[in-house]
Amino acid sequence: MVALVALLVWRLHFAVVLPVFLVFIALDGAYITSVLTKIPEGAWFTFLLAGVLSSTFILWRFGKEAQWAAESLDKLPPEAIFTNTPTADTTASSRAASLPANLALTPALGGTAISTVPGFGIFFDKRGDPALLPASFAHFVRKFAARPSVLVFLHTRALPLPSIPCAERYVVSRVARLPHAYAVVLRHGYADDVLRPALAREIVAQIELVVGASAAAAARDPGTPTPLAPSPEVQASLSALSRACAAQTVYVLGKEVMRIKRAERRSAWAYARRVLLGAFLWIRDNSRAKLADLDIDVDKLIEVGFVNEI
């Protein structure tokens, strides 16, 4: 187990791990061989259980690495999906509020204009990279050609601590090239209950704090202790946030369906890989999802399905 952690987690070189592994495997081998005579009396169950557990963990790791490799190919920066279409009625007030031109899909995706519907949309993000769009949002706009007026890309990050203080739990940043879009990283410990009905209100409060703090820092004169009035951009962001929350709040989850890619050449390893990935997908489809305990109203939940090949 320590050898696997050193190779997979600590990323140590195999030559460094091998000597330590040989020492421990020699000691464990001595203890195991001393009880081999008890296998006919019932010790076989312990070996069988260890083999089943080890095979399951190795299979799960193999499948997850294939899944991560397939998901890494779906790099979705905003410019790969959206393009700005200038409008003739762009006023000076909208330019002062730094609102970009109307969004549309790229010509490769049809070039359809993206309409804006009133509401506060929280899209769960697996990557947590502000430079990339979550798959749930990308497939949402491609299917419906619409987006909520205020977007939040939420990434939950578990830390090896029992609890994270509320003041250190949220990290908020703006998403470039998207109007009224924010990337929020929710850091939590293994004893924290963060996916609860008040999640949207907490996110809105954190966004308001960040927008207000950035406005105060930008408008504060070094010679005066009091901040100046908020800029039109900040006023537009806060008013858009309040209008969106008053309209509706929706949570959007990505429902990823994995399929096994057909091998280009038939070989023994191709058939074995297909069998292993099939077993992994069966376990994955029949296991509990991470967000299964999301305690929110069902009428506020939307699942967007898409297919990915491994």
Residue with the larger pLDDT of the pair 74 and 278:
278
| Percentage of residues of the chain with pLDDT beyond 70 | 86
Task: Please give the average per-residue pLDDT across 223-242, as a whole number.
Answer: 73
Flag whether the pTM goes above 0.85: no
pLDDT of residue 123: 94
CA distances from 256 to 99, 187, 248 (A): 33, 23, 25
What's the pLDDT tens digit per position in 235-276? 888 899 999 999 999 999 888 888 998 877 788 888 999 999
pLDDT of residue 90: 42
What's the pLDDT tens digit per position in 98-140? 344 578 888 888 888 999 999 999 999 988 888 888 989 999 9
CA distances from 28 to 34, 37, 101 (A): 10, 16, 66
Whether 87 contacts 113, CB under 8 Å: no
Answer yes or no: is pLDDT of 180 > 70. Answer: yes
